[in-house]
Structure 1
């Protein structure tokens, strides 16, 4: 607040000097002018105290009268003068103060001071989110659900007013500022020990690059995630400057679409792992091979066309703007039946409506479905608010840029090891992915599994840590054993073990754990609670390892035996 204080003093210097000077002159005048009594005899002037008292209520227009005695004519003339100059000086000071309060520079300084104060008062984990659009809204809601606070940096005040109307559990800390400024990032808490990372979601790739550079140089320990809108250059720059996760939603969806066509098991496994935990499991589908039509040859259309042709599909492009470039086959928008007929709609297996206007994409999709009812329709949904329209149309596959970026960022925030697993997936074959998908679907039938990481450390898995440090063997099979019935297995899948920089993908149940190992699990939330129970409780871990229960407490043994008895009764009734 010191900057605000000195700014006020600088701007209010002249009015304050004038007010003080006028007040002092009027006080001294009253202290020098003699009074008069009831008989008309001269009396001594007012004391300095009484002069200050009279001028205090006179200058503030309270008006208590002539105190302590009636004034002389000279004193009254002086009071007329004092009233006029006091009102004038105070009016000048008030006008200057109002102008200061409306000054953009002062308001910005005040917001900056408030931001710094609120960030200093944050004593719980938070993320700095730069840019509040549709993606920023989804990320903010996701972080709030995960229990993280949010410091939002956005130069557009209108967007921040929308943020304040969001139904969030905690009020976000907002800053109306340019996130590309390192000073703004520092005031937003970049150096705070509670800051967990920075997410760059601005509409300008240059700003995202500036944010990435600032974070990497000022706080190298913090993870930084960025979205890019223009391919190649921005992604290369962000990766070179050390961004932990860079997502181009258009290229990402294009690669996912191509993966769904060429490697459906890869696509299905990715959907299972990056979906919203507990939601309905994604349906299995495979876009057909053959001839495709792409309407719109901008960033999205170009990325989709490249990926489809790379996987052996023939593509006809319909576009109006880029027709003169020589890469577009049919000139038009794709909303007219003649344009689609010229593109070969009747023998095409799929169509992509990829313009930057949702109404146009829906018109293309409806026309194409009318002319070829069996065609596979892919639509691009630009605005989240238009979701009911796309749901009513029931397309085969929808591309929503904000959801793609938000879901992947939140997945990595929830389980950082998931990014390493997703990065390895393209190097594996279809059979490898199909095996993991089958195990996940068996663990959480009809639902998206929950992903979590367990680290062998005194804080997260103290029982496992003590046994491993003492030279005892603790394997993944032990952690996946039901702590209430040693004959049962917990419905969870160990996807990855991170050990001293080495990744062990799809580890077997006989994999022995070591100190500081990090294990990526996937399964229902109940499986997480049971695994963590075994990892933290010495008696339970000893039971799942050896079958001995003598060391357990009485209450635990009674609860375990009752649970075991119920399980055996259910198993007997099924038989």
Structure 2
């Protein structure tokens, strides 16, 4: 998907240098620092306030110079400064208490008339200026920045920074929301933030309208917050994502960072900062395609476990090993063509620009022209990859190619999530959606490291093994994507288990954990996929597998199975019943 260079929410960018900034540091364009609110207020109200002060000074001064008159008509001294200021104050605010401290002379009344018109004009000017200021975008940004920083500072639970809210960021935000995980968004485009506001999130979403490549925006969003658990650089700008990795490593070295990139060179720079995890969706998809070609069953299992919740088990894809055509030799086309060529498969490349590619035949032209596809020998080809940056062009090329060779195994690149309905209704064997690849990889890395280990194992196994895993999972969760979760047998996540292991002569087994809490002869609808003990992996442990404190276990099954297992893990009385078949003594 084509994400815009981004960063996120309702707030403000950085506006002025902070203590410790270099003297020549340039404020962010259009950014408003929190400390600038009083400055903005005084700057916009400077002229109205000066006008009011001048009107008040002239009005009060006039009354201190104009003589009054008593009841007999004799002249009296002018008002004192206090009485003059008092009269002007209640007159200018249209309260009106009459002529105080005594009746006015005609000259004083004439001056009072002038004061009334002057003060009403001055206050009207001031109030209109104040109202216009509350419609000023920069002032509203500054106010929003204050509120945003205060809300971030009050976060008391773990959260993640989602830096860039294009298709990938929005998908990840929805996933975090389903998981009831807090997140803070930084997005450069106000339009994308407005789209995000329309989402019906269950959790409290905080968003900052700022540039993620700027360190102050990251700090404001909570990069140094003690509850921040990770930063996800998901913009479509490799330079911005590199800036995020750099800032995170220097400002919070222990914070996990996952960055998206489309460039091998940028990936190398990111990894030079140490622990950063880099995701290249084009390279990742090319690996998936090769997995489908080498072991279709393993790819089917991999695709099912990484699919969105409640997705149906897809059919088995087996890409052919005959000649392939790659239309569009950009970042995606190059990644796929290189992998196909490395497998010894003949590749013909179609691209409008002249290319020098050693391992493939190149046809210069537009894939939307049948003559060009004829030159690429589309009628004898077995596979087609269409990977330009324009969705409608990709659909047009694939449609023309399929009309010339209906048996083509077709791989399409979908750039924009908004075009999903078009791609779902097109007959393509595989669709590469970068936003899904990146978002799913981010979730797996951050929330289920054991799942990553298991998926890496899937890539190395044989089809027969994968088919058996699918069979076992379908027995427990049906044909829909199973829920996956991991458990560590420690005092925090499984206190009842740890207590029983410490006091048992007989080992506690995997089968004990998989019993129904209210009927030990029944089984919960879950399958143990992996046990990690001391760095050693055990795949698909059987019911007799003996558990030990500190084990990390990956399960897959129905959501209710996870809830039932939570009862077993935390209730010693239930676990005693499951292990012995007897109720524990009171």
| Whole-Å separation in 2 of the counterparts to 1:191 and 1:500 | 32
The CA RMSD measured in Å over matched residues stands at 3.0
Q: TM-score, normalised by structure 2?
A: 0.85
1:543 corresponding residue in structure 2: 577
1:288 corresponding residue in structure 2: 320
| Whole-Å separation in 1 of the counterparts to 2:247 and 2:501 | 41
2:72 corresponding residue in structure 1: 39
Q: TM-score, normalised by structure 1?
A: 0.86
| Whole-Å separation in 1 of the counterparts to 2:298 and 2:195 | 38
Alignment of 1:190-339 (within 5 A): 190-230=223-263, 232-243=264-275, 245-323=277-355, 329-339=362-372
1:533 aligns with 2:533: no
What is the aligned counterpart of 1:449 among 451, 461, 482?
Answer: 482
- Give the drift of 1:25: 5.4
Q: Is the 8 A contact 1:198 1:225 kept in 2?
A: yes
- Give the drift of 1:107: 4.6
What is the aligned counterpart of 1:397 among 423, 427, 430?
Answer: 430
Gaps of at least 5 residues in structure 2 are 1-33
- Give the drift of 1:204: 1.1
Range moving further from structure 2, 74-83 or 250-259: 74-83
> For 1:185-242, what per-residue CA distance to the aligned partner results, in whole angstroms no more than 9, with x for missing partners?
1211223344332221112112112212322333344332221122x11222223324
2:200 corresponding residue in structure 1: 167
| Whole-Å separation in 1 of the counterparts to 2:181 and 2:149 | 19
**Residues 45 and 527 from structure 1, CA distance in 2 versus in 1: closer, same or farther, beyond 3 angstroms?**
same
Q: 3-state DSSP class of the match of 2:410?
A: strand
Alignment of 1:107-122 (within 5 A): 107-122=140-155
> For 1:526-557, what per-residue CA distance to the aligned partner results, in whole angstroms no more than 9, with x for missing partners?
2212222221121221222233x13178xxxx
Q: Is the 8 A contact 2:270 2:276 kept in 1?
A: no
1:460 corresponding residue in structure 2: 493
- Give the drift of 1:297: 0.7
Q: 3-state DSSP class of the match of 1:40?
A: coil
1:476 corresponding residue in structure 2: 510
Gaps of at least 5 residues in structure 1 are 554-575
Q: 3-state DSSP class of the match of 1:297?
A: coil
Range moving further from structure 2, 161-170 or 344-353: 161-170
> For 1:86-145, what per-residue CA distance to the aligned partner results, in whole angstroms no more than 9, with x for missing partners?
567657756775786676654543332222022124344432211121111211122222
| Whole-Å separation in 1 of the counterparts to 2:79 and 2:531 | 89
Judging by fraction of residues, say which structure has more helix: 1
How many residue pairs match? The answer is 551
**Residues 103 and 167 from structure 1, CA distance in 2 versus in 1: closer, same or farther, beyond 3 angstroms?**
closer
| Whole-Å separation in 2 of the counterparts to 1:292 and 1:2 | 60
- Give the drift of 1:153: 0.9
| Whole-Å separation in 2 of the counterparts to 1:124 and 1:44 | 71
- Give the drift of 1:269: 2.1
1:184 aligns with 2:205: no
Q: Is the 8 A contact 1:119 1:188 kept in 2?
A: yes
> For 1:7-28, what per-residue CA distance to the aligned partner results, in whole angstroms no more than 9, with x for missing partners?
4346645754563465355335
- Give the drift of 1:46: 4.1
| Whole-Å separation in 1 of the counterparts to 2:92 and 2:190 | 40
What is the aligned counterpart of 1:418 among 438, 451, 458?
Answer: 451
1:512 aligns with 2:539: no
> For 1:398-447, what per-residue CA distance to the aligned partner results, in whole angstroms no more than 9, with x for missing partners?
11111222222234444232223334443444444444333223322211
Q: 3-state DSSP class of the match of 2:516?
A: coil
1:560 corresponding residue in structure 2: none
Q: 3-state DSSP class of the match of 1:288?
A: coil
**Residues 280 and 22 from structure 1, CA distance in 2 versus in 1: closer, same or farther, beyond 3 angstroms?**
same
| Whole-Å separation in 1 of the counterparts to 2:215 and 2:400 | 50
